Structure 1
Amino acid sequence: MKNRTHFTRWHAAAVAGLLAVVVAATPAVTAQQFLNIATGGTAGTYYPLGGALGEIFNQHVPGVNASVQATGASVANVNMIAQGQVDLAFIQNDIAYYAAQAQEMFKSPVQNLQGIATLYPEVIQIVARADSGIRSVADLKGKRVAVGDAGSGTEANARQILAAAGITYQDVSARYLSFAEAASNLRDGHIDAAFVTAGLPTGAIQDVAAQRAIVLVAVGDDLVAKLQDQYPFYTRAVVKGGTYRGVEDDVQTVAVKAMLAVRADLPEGLVYSLTKALFENLPRMAQAHARGGDLSLATAQDGMSLTVHPGAARYYAETGH
């Protein structure tokens, strides 16, 4: 009986020792962090960039499992973050500003929303038929002008630019049209000009220019200054000559910026790691879409319309930005 007890104790000690060796040899398992990234429509720019971003996070941030979903873009994405349905989202910086300030389409401020980086310019292009006589913003008075879908970011851009020039919707014949609708109406002569907010070049404008002579209307220095005084999200932009058929000279205008926003309650350490992974793998973003090549640390806070998340702010401080 004594021998059996001694054997049992020895056996238990041996098993415990073996388990200790196995546990020590097994790498620690990192708790998985699931992240949902909201983009836009599958035919747009946000969606392929979001796919690349998800790949970067999955490959370079230990424990992260990121998934990407197509959405209705900026306004829908703000609401999804506010409701906790997604963790990161692509949003225009003007829409983010309205959300934070309870302006335009947002009746109350969205609290749980902070910024990681601004990404690339979405240029406000005022395109007019060459035979319309429109050569300046002031010339839009009395004309038939497509100002974007009702309640859209483009419509807000159009209204603000017109106001900077002392023009209201009562001074023009405002038409609430999508990009595609505006393009077909321009082409057919049913409207004189249209506001389009999009990355360059914009397919809808290319289609019109292929069939009809167009001009791009400049936003002069005085209007740029007025806009920037009132709305911090506007940046100066230039549409290079040759971007569209028949438009040979550079044209100054303004732009809003696509940006990456994040839930404010995500941990600082996690957002730091996400920001670091993004900027250390920019070639993958450029590979996903031409506009991904516009991302840089030097411009990552240009036009930032939200409070920067502390995790992203820490990365910028460490890199001298």
Structure 2
Amino acid sequence: MVGNEILPKLVRVFAVTTLMRRRKMKKIVALLVCMFLWSCLSTQAGYAKDEKKADWPKHISWSSPSGPKWTTAVGFTALIQKYTGVSSSALGPSGGTMADIQSLVSKNAEIAWNSNPSVHEAWIGGGAYKKMGPQKWIRALSGGYEAFWLIIARGNSDIKSFKDIKGHRWGGDVMIGSDLTDQTRDGLLKIHGMTKRDYKSFPITKFAELVDMMKEGRVDVVAFFAGTPSPYAIELATAMDLTWISLEPEAAKKVPETLYGHQAGIIRAGSYKGQTKDVIAAAHMTIPIVHEDLHEDVVYGIMKALFDHPDEMEAIHPSAKDFARKPATLQVTAPYHRGAVRYYKEKGLWTAELENLQKKILGQ
């Protein structure tokens, strides 16, 4: 009798235990499936968590001077942080191209804006980089935006062309020395058969000072590098009448042969208040560069964070439209980083021409 009562209880206990085990196994299997899918997605995105621990820095800094470069550096690092989960921010504003190069040398920054002409000089150890020697560690991430050397005169002055600056008060010579400003100014002076003795120089420490100098009447003409639109040019055009100095066609033709890494660019009419005609100006490409020691996975992850999201890049600053959708370009003066090459090959953007350029710059 007792045995007959115990047997059904044992059967029920066994059934319940079996059911619980099955449910537990289902949970374990479901958990394993989720972990597997997460691993696949993380690896596919290029930001695997284990890779970050091993290779990614705790923080990514983008060294940049003021102006549009600073605006884009702030916005682009926000994208890097958003899509990689790694803390990122802009570093600066810096003192210019040489300061940005030094930030990468000292490992204070992982990325920096720089101009093609300055990158070339640093790569070969020429010009302002003679004492430092060749900087063969420089690697490019992508193309960039076109920066123009704007030459703007007061509207009530008699300055209508570059040669007219003779005898006038000039604002634009950087007091602490700027390899790019010096290159461009000296090149244009040479093209026009002039020297620094032909004008009265009012040196500056940063381009932002030029706005007040013009407003207060301390100078007759200013010159500075900027993308389009430039906040300095917008402020000046809003505050006063200006004359936008355009290079003559013959002078424009001599820009590429006189100034390595430069070309004659066009600032379209209507870009600024009162600018009714196209303006021809010396221009160069500003590109993001990194140190060759930066891990390939890190650079690849940065490339995905930026160039997989061109709409968000373009929303940060109009200049991003120059390269957000076509990052791979032949207009670089340093070799591409291996992490960038990996990204371009994956996207089908790495061409035979780019491969030849890479080998040429590396001397292979």
TM range (shorter): 0.7 to 0.9
After superposition, the Cα gap between the structure-2 partners of 1:44 and 1:214, relative to the gap in structure 1 and judged at 3 Å, is: closer
Distance in 1 (CA, whole Å) between partners of 2:343 and 2:51 is 23
Distance in 2 (CA, whole Å) between partners of 1:184 and 1:50 is 25
1:39 aligns with 2:63: yes
**Contact 2:151-2:244 at 8 Å conserved across structures:** yes
1:259 aligns with 2:287: yes
Tell me the equivalent position of 1:138.
163
Distance in 2 (CA, whole Å) between partners of 1:127 and 1:289 is 23
Q: CA deviation at 1:55?
A: 4.2
Root-mean-square deviation (CA), in Å? Answer: 2.9
1:95-117 deviation per Cα after TM superposition (whole angstroms, max 9, x unaligned): 32332233343222223211111
1:88-147 deviation per Cα after TM superposition (whole angstroms, max 9, x unaligned): 222233332332233343222223211111221221111112332222222222222222
Matches within 5 A, 1:38-57: 38-40=62-64, 44-57=67-80
Aligned partner of 1:90: which letter?
A: W
1:208-262 deviation per Cα after TM superposition (whole angstroms, max 9, x unaligned): 3334321111123333332212433213322222223322111111222221101
Tell me the equivalent position of 1:311.
339
Matches within 5 A, 1:271-310: 271-298=299-326, 300-301=328-329, 303-310=331-338
After superposition, the Cα gap between the structure-2 partners of 1:278 and 1:207, relative to the gap in structure 1 and judged at 3 Å, is: closer
Tell me the equivalent position of 1:3.
none
Which structure 1 segments of 5+ residues have no match? 1-17
Matches within 5 A, 1:165-204: 165-177=192-204, 178-204=206-232
The alignment's TM-score, normalised by the length of structure 1, stands at 0.80
**Contact 1:234-1:303 at 8 Å conserved across structures:** no
Distance in 2 (CA, whole Å) between partners of 1:207 and 1:69 is 24
Tell me the equivalent position of 2:118.
95
**Contact 1:87-1:262 at 8 Å conserved across structures:** yes
Aligned with 1:30 (options 44, 47, 50): 50
Aligned partner of 2:62: which letter?
A: A
Q: CA deviation at 1:58?
A: 4.3
Tell me the equivalent position of 2:147.
122
Q: CA deviation at 1:175?
A: 2.1
Q: CA deviation at 1:263?
A: 1.0
**Contact 1:40-1:46 at 8 Å conserved across structures:** yes
1:112 aligns with 2:137: yes
Distance in 2 (CA, whole Å) between partners of 1:49 and 1:210 is 23
Matches within 5 A, 1:7-86: 25=32, 29-32=49-52, 33-34=56-57, 36-40=60-64, 44-60=67-83, 65-71=86-92, 72=94, 73-86=96-109
Aligned partner of 1:65: which letter?
A: V
Q: CA deviation at 1:320?
A: 5.0
Aligned-partner SS, 1:117: coil
After superposition, the Cα gap between the structure-2 partners of 1:206 and 1:248, relative to the gap in structure 1 and judged at 3 Å, is: same
Which structure 2 segments of 5+ residues have no match? 1-24, 40-48, 352-364
Aligned partner of 2:173: which letter?
A: G
Aligned partner of 2:349: which letter?
A: T
Aligned-partner SS, 2:246: coil
Aligned-partner SS, 1:261: strand
Aligned-partner SS, 2:60: strand
**Contact 2:147-2:283 at 8 Å conserved across structures:** yes
Tell me the equivalent position of 1:9.
none
After superposition, the Cα gap between the structure-2 partners of 1:302 and 1:127, relative to the gap in structure 1 and judged at 3 Å, is: farther
Aligned partner of 2:124: which letter?
A: Q
Q: Which runs of 4+ in 1 moved over 4 A?
A: 26-29, 58-61
After superposition, the Cα gap between the structure-2 partners of 1:39 and 1:46, relative to the gap in structure 1 and judged at 3 Å, is: farther
Distance in 1 (CA, whole Å) between partners of 2:229 and 2:83 is 32
Tell me the equivalent position of 2:361.
none
Aligned-partner SS, 2:86: strand
Tell me the equivalent position of 2:20.
none
Distance in 2 (CA, whole Å) between partners of 1:119 and 1:217 is 25
What is the number of equivalent residue pairs in this alignment? Answer: 298
Q: CA deviation at 1:270?
A: 4.3
Distance in 1 (CA, whole Å) between partners of 2:68 and 2:187 is 25
The alignment's TM-score, normalised by the length of structure 2, stands at 0.71
